[in-house]
Chain A
Amino acid sequence: MLTLKCPFTGAMLDETELHCGGEAHRKRFGPGSSDEDFETYMFVRENRKGVHFELWLHAYGIGKWFIAARDTETLEVYGTYPAQTTEPPQDIKDAITAKRPGWSWREFE
């Protein structure tokens, strides 16, 4: 079972308290955008075997969204951070690089 640390309160959260909100760091495209951009936003997913960023909601708790940096091949959690950001903090990037040198994710690495 997945256990994630809440970046706001520091509490260790059980998967049953949480709701997964899917891939994080997606760039939003709305009306007026090209078909390609809208398709990418709505449907195309990174779906990496390895480093993965995803949104989680502390549904049965404080009700806040945060992002978990995980590894989909080993189920290791690299860290969690608040969702109000476009890139993970440097210490989480460093933790990922230590395990997965050369990783990248859409616009950052």
Chain B
Amino acid sequence: MKHYSAFAVAREALRYHTGWERAWRSPEPKKRYDVIIVGAGGHGLATAYYLGKNYGIQNVAIIEKGWLGGGNTGRNTTIIRSNYLQDPSAALYEKARGLYEDLSQELNYNIMFSPRGVMMLAQTQHEIRGYQRTAHANALQGVKTEWIEPERVKELVPIINIDGPRYPVLGALWQERGGTARHDAVAWGYARACSAMGMDIIQKCEVTGVRSENGRVVGVDTTKGAIDCEKLGIVVAGHSGQLAEMAGFRLPLESVALQALVSEPIKPCMDVVVMANTVHGYMSQSDKGEMVIGGGTDGFNNFTQRGSFHHIEETVRALVETFPMISRLKMLRQWGGIVDMTGDRSPILSTTPLGNCFINCGWGTGGFKAIPGSGWGMAQLMATGHSPLTEAFTMDRFKEGRFIDESVAAGVAH
């Protein structure tokens, strides 16, 4: 792998950019790997990366039905934050946020991490109490967040309307080191680093079956033939249920569509991420100047990556009231992704009833922010059988009633 640097750009400029090599190889699958990861999205690639980097397991294949980073990794609104209420969540998301800080240097790939600050507006008395509680919880967890008053909100976001008629802004939960990153680059950076370690990223290869012997996984059937493995990691988000069925177990998940949209690019007007959970919308401005907008999930099970128009209308209506100046913005694109929701709105990182088969799913509407931490914990779980980061997120927590209840803490989108 050739190192990317300012010098490399200058060198290639002098020879008409003929020396760039492909960022990752696209090999045919081998007969056998130590570890197979199904799903080459952010979480799958990060898992593979930390397996190689932290545990020296480099005979790894990452199998992807579509193309690398083409699922929710390439469809989210790129928000990174770790201001969660529950201790296990805060630990996992803060680990991820911390890793994002110098991920560009580590991967030698510019993921454009921009810690511009994330603000979650409180627009009801209930939310004030909720976010003040979260701010106190974060202080105990070592996550730096603070409660700020409406005047400070207006100072940080001049375009906001803090005394709207229906939902005035009463304050906000502010995380200064939250922000955004380039979502595709996160997948590409991990893919390049995995490929450099000798791992095989096999795209356009669908897993059609999971083979097991004596209650342990021995390999997978794919559209490119059978591949043996010692350990299997299933990291496929919306399609986790299908893979779990192949592996012979069921999951407490439902797959629904989540939509997002971007406006035409405009001049810089908002340099923080603003989330308004009561009115159900969140917005940030991309480096290109587009306003990136997201809202809540659609209300019914759906695998089509298309959503209902009225959900967009609700989101935009809420944001227009909060940011009156965007009322005449034209929207350029709208898209949907399939998110896998658990009963307590927290992910599952777990061993499974099938031996040596592990699953990482249930990230729901907020998986992007967790990619490095999720990969770190999942790699530790797969390599050693135990990870302090993931131990609370097992799939049997539903049977045991040990919920990590972020749906109560967050209300909605997180």
Chain A positions near chain B (C-beta within 8 angstroms)? 1-2, 15-16, 19-20, 22-23, 35-36, 38-39, 42-45, 47-49, 52, 54, 70, 72-75
Contacts and interface: CB of A to CB of B under 8 A. Distances in A.
Contacts of B398: 39, 42-44
A43 B241 CA distance: 13
A44 B252 contact: yes
Given A49-B242, A72-B303, 9 more contacts: A36-B399, A42-B398, A44-B250, A44-B398, A45-B252, A47-B254, A47-B301, A49-B255, A75-B306
Interface in B296-316: 299-304, 306, 308-310
Nearest to B400: A35
Contacts of A54: 300-301
Tell which of A35, A39, A47, A75 has the most Cβ of chain B within 10 Å: A47
Contact of B252 (A22, A43, A49): A43
Given A16-B310, A43-B343, A35 B254 contact: no
Nearest to B238: A49
Given A2-B308, A15-B308, A45 B303 contact: no
Interface of B: 239, 241-242, 250-255, 299-304, 306, 308-310, 342-343, 398-400
A29 to B, nearest CB: 12
Nearest to B343: A43
Nearest to A43: B252
Contacts of A20: 299-300
Contacts of A43: 252, 342-343, 398
A43 B253 CA distance: 8
Nearest to B309: A1
B303 A19 contact: no
